[in-house]
């Protein structure tokens, strides 16, 4: 169990002045964000929010997957979400490699065949973003009153640019 000692110790420090006990888990700022798993992204900080403000769904590429849509429908109807941001980013691994390249790199790391593993690479990031935003806007359980925007996050400048 020692493998996680550093993180568990940090957690005890974190819990000492924990301020979110009893909070009901709604998005206090009415925001939901779908973005990439990339460690260069601070999804709350980049839009001036703090814990408690937003529902956040992350995956490789920041794609609107079926699970992301589930999250957004729950967010909109049960958790106070009124605005949705879909946020892929520059220099994303799934948008700058081909499926074959990612499989080769994973295979080299794993020392075994990875040709069966899907990574859902993106050929055209802005086109994929437009499709993803359309999926949210056209979802039968997402009312027109919900604002949905597609943005590209620049991991080198920290700036968001609205594309859709």
* Contact status: 29 vs Zn ion (CB under 5 A): no
Residue 23 neighbours by CB distance under 10 Å:
10
> Phi then psi for 34, rounded to 5 degrees?
-110, 120
Given the rule CB under 5 A, which of 11-19, 29-37, 103-111, 116-124 is the region that contacts Zn ion?
A: 29-37
Give the nearest distance from C-beta 34 to Zn ion in angstroms.
Answer: 12
Q: What is the dihedral of CA 110, 8, 41, 128, to 10 degrees?
A: 50
Structure tokens at 124: 């055209």
Residue 140 neighbours by CB distance under 10 Å:
6
* Contact status: 54 vs Zn ion (CB under 5 A): no
* Contact status: 34 vs Zn ion (CB under 5 A): no
CA atoms of 71 and 73, how far apart (whole Å): 6
Q: What DSSP state is assigned to residue 6?
A: H
* Candidate residues 30, 38, 72, 76; the one interacting with Zn ion per rule CB under 5 A: 38
Given the rule CB under 5 A, which of 7-15, 23-31, 33-41, 112-120 is the region that contacts Zn ion?
A: 33-41
Q: Which residues contact 78 (CB under 8 A, 6 or more apart)?
A: none
Give the nearest distance from C-beta 36 to Zn ion in angstroms.
Answer: 3
Site string for Zn ion, 83-122 (x = CB under 5 A): ---------x------------------------------
* Contact status: 36 vs Zn ion (CB under 5 A): yes
Q: Which residues bind Zn ion (CB under 5 A)?
A: 36, 38, 92
């Amino acid at each position: 169990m020692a493998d996680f000692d550093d993180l568990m110790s940090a957690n005890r420090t974190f819990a000492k002045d924990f301020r979110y006990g009893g909070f009901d888990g709604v998005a206090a700022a009415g925001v939901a964000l779908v973005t990439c798993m990339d460690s260069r992204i601070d999804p709350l900080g980049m839009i001036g929010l703090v814990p408690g403000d937003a529902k956040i769904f992350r995956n490789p590429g920041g794609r609107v997957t079926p699970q992301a849509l589930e999250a957004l429908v729950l967010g909109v109807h049960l958790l106070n979400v009124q605005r949705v941001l879909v946020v892929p980013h520059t220099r994303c691994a799934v948008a700058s490699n081909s499926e074959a390249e990612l499989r080769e790199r994973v295979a080299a790391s794993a020392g075994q065949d990875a040709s069966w593993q899907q990574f859902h690479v993106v050929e055209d990031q802005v086109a994929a973003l437009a499709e993803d935003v359309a999926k949210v806007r056209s979802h039968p359980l997402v009312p027109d009153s919900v604002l949905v925007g597609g943005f590209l996050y620049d991991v080198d400048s920290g700036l968001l640019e609205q594309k859709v």
